[in-house]
Amino acid sequence: MAKFAILGYGKMGKEVEKILLSRQEEIVARIDNEEDWQQQWDQFLTADVAIEFSMPSVAVENFKKCFENHIPLVAGTTGWYDRQKEVLDYCRQCKSAFVFGSNFSIGVNVFFKLNELLANIMKDQEAFQVSIEETHHITKKDAPSGTAIHLAQIIEKQYNNKIEVPIESFRLTDVPGIHKITYQSENETIELTHTAKNRVELAQGAVKAAHWLLQHPGIYDFKDIALSIKN
């Protein structure tokens, strides 16, 4: 059994906690603010791995604390990707281990693959215009979501970056996450949709990634390993 630190103790942090407790894993620290860091620093240093679901404003500093202390990290926070090169370079400099991802749901990562396949088919169908719509809970800080941005990047790559996919974002009360890709022509509509019923799959994916990272140290985007993780 591994010792876990939970960084970010909001809705996702509490969901991760439920999964870990159900698996009888040991949680050595639950850190949500600077006071927690001060009070639980020694406990944090005993962790074998950390799972981070916080806010974009504090995520990178959380990452660096893990890297500097050689604590493997799984990060589900989005909204920091404008600093991705800085973060990955620092992780390499510290010789640490890191899994990051826009979405830790296995279903969403299947959805990424389906999106890629559909975009490859549709790229020459000039009558169709593609767009993305994403809906999340009102407390989600970033818009559009990291998942929606990644979906758009997949499509744009298939179109040889000749288009820019528009994304429309909605924030409603307690919606875990809905992503819809639409191809619209004058006479037809093709839609591909993923709906999250709750946050459980995200938490399970993060816990699975943490165990995988302990066995396979390195730096990974979750989408590149998601469908290889079996435990």
**Which pLDDT tens digit goes with each residue over 48-72?**
999 999 999 999 999 999 999 999 9
Q: Residue 123 carries which side chain, given as an amino acid letter?
A: K
Residues 6+ apart with CB under 8 A from 67: 73, 90, 91, 93, 94, 96, 98
Q: Report the pLDDT value the prediction gives residue 168, as an integer from 0 to 100.
A: 96
Q: What is the domain class of 106-196 according to CATH?
A: alpha beta
- The answer to whether 180 and 192 have CB atoms below 8 angstroms apart is yes
Of the two residues 140 and 128, the one the predictor is more confident about is: 128
Catalytic residue from among 140, 150, 208, 211: 140
If you average pLDDT over residues 3-8, what whole number do you get? 98
**194 assigned to active site:** no
Residue 30 has pLDDT above 70, yes or no: yes
Residue 231 has pLDDT above 70, yes or no: no
Q: How far is CA 114 from CA 61, 120, 121, 122, 128, in A?
A: 34, 10, 11, 12, 18
Q: Report the pLDDT value the prediction gives residue 175, as an integer from 0 to 100.
A: 84
Residue 5 has pLDDT above 90, yes or no: yes
Catalytic residue from among 65, 136, 150, 211: 136
How many angstroms separate the CA atoms of 38 and 58, rounded? 15
| Reported confidence tier of residue 142, pLDDT bands at 50, 70, 90 | confident
CATH of domain 3-100+200-228: 3.40.50.720
Which tokens sit at 43? 């406990």
Q: Fold identical between 3-100+200-228 and 106-196?
A: no
- pLDDT mean across residues, the chain: 94
Residue 139 has pLDDT above 80, yes or no: no
pTM: 0.82
**140 assigned to active site:** yes
Residue 227 has pLDDT above 90, yes or no: no
Q: What would the pLDDT profile of 168-215 be if each residue is shown by its tens digit? A: 999 988 788 899 999 999 999 999 999 988 889 899 999 999 999 999
Domain boundaries, the chain: 3-100+200-228, 106-196
